[in-house]
Amino acid sequence: MATRTRPLVPIAPILPRYPNLAIIRASDRTSREAAMYTDLSSDQYRQQFASRDQSDYQLIDVREDDEYAEAHLPGAVNIPLSEFMARVDEIDEDRPALLVCNTGVRSSQAAMYLASLGYEQLYNLEDGTKGWLRDGLPVEGGEETSQ
């Protein structure tokens, strides 16, 4: 895991449940923002990552603990956006990072933050866990694992 030597950039504007939350839809992204990370649909994620060993990449769920406990993608690690700045050193900048939330908004903000720190190989699950569930894909969490 990489050791962070750069100063941390404040992310208060991107934290959830705050009045100054900046909501960014994919259609609103500038070309600079588009270069920071790649949006993936559930199908694209499965095509690009499903055949890989999960140790080759990081699947990070940025939803809050209670949301994560209800249902999350298999193998996802929970680093809530509200704790993201304090826990950013848990993310290995040498491996691809796929970020997920409920609908793709918070995870895109986390991806932009990581990009601002120099992370590369960043992916955002644009439909989030909600889209994953809508597509009938398996999740972990809740009282039992759903298939």
pLDDT tens profile 19-59: 333 444 444 445 445 568 999 999 999 999 888 888 899 99
- The model's pLDDT over 80-129, given as tens digits with 9 standing for 90+, comes to 999 999 999 999 999 999 999 999 999 999 999 999 899 999 999 999 99
The domains found in the chain, sorted by start residue, are 37-134 (3.40.250.10)
140 forms beta bridges with 72
- The residues, any chain, with a CB within 8 Å of residue 58's CB and separated by 6 or more, are 77, 91, 92, 95, 96, 97, 98
Cα 119 from chain centroid?
13
Q: Mind telling me the catalytic residues?
A: 101
